[in-house]
Amino acid sequence: MNTKEDGFISFLALIMLMILTLVGCGIFFVAEDSLKTQRHTEVAAELYMDASGAVEKIAWDIANGRIELPNNVKDGTDHDLTDELDFDFGANNKVSAAVRYENNGLRVFAVVEKEDENAATFGAAECFLEDADGGYKWSYRIKTR
């Protein structure tokens, strides 16, 4: 048996082992990044649902007269309604909600923000209430991303 061939086979085996190690590391990093993306998507969906709940709560309260709107609500500026939300959005979540009069109705919007060590994630939702007979009634939800 030739010793040159034995060394060559060992060299090929070492190269194949290095290639497999690199492929394994690549798969590991892709899987780790996919898990981070999945978690971020889950958090964004939760925040969107929280914002949708806040919008629906405010819209329902306005339509049923439970929220007293300011007298100057028709001036076209944003009116903060964050204090009207009486349910818990989580310890790390910041919520802001507002209403603006436009197009003969109220546009209600809410944003829920969650900050962690990597980034801030937002969820937003909006709806429109028509001005009807001295009150407001639900018209439609505004699609948000």
**pLDDT over 90 (residue 107):** no
For 17, the 3-state DSSP assignment is helix
pTM of the model: 0.71
> Cα 2 from chain centroid?
66
- Cα distance between residue 121 and residue 47, in whole Å: 8
- Establish how many alpha carbons lie within 13 A of residue 87's alpha carbon, considering only the half-sphere containing its beta carbon: 9
Per-residue pLDDT at 100: 85
Report pLDDT for 1. Answer: 52
d(CA 123, CA 118): 17
> What distances in angstroms separate CA 59 from CA 29, 46, 134, 137, one per listed residue?
45, 20, 15, 8
Classify 138 in phi/psi space as left (phi over 0), alpha (psi -120 to 50) or beta: beta
Confidence of residue 59 (pLDDT cuts 50, 70, 90): confident
> pLDDT exceeding 70 applies to what percent of the chain?
90
pLDDT computed for residue 27 by the predictor? 93
Rounded to an integer, the average pLDDT of 50-65 is 85
Question: Given phi > 0 = left and psi -120 to 50 = alpha, else beta, which region is 134?
Answer: left
pLDDT at 19: 95
The pLDDT assigned to 23 comes to 94
pLDDT reading at 104 higher than 70: yes
Grouping H, G, I as helix, E, B as strand and the rest as coil, residue 35 is helix
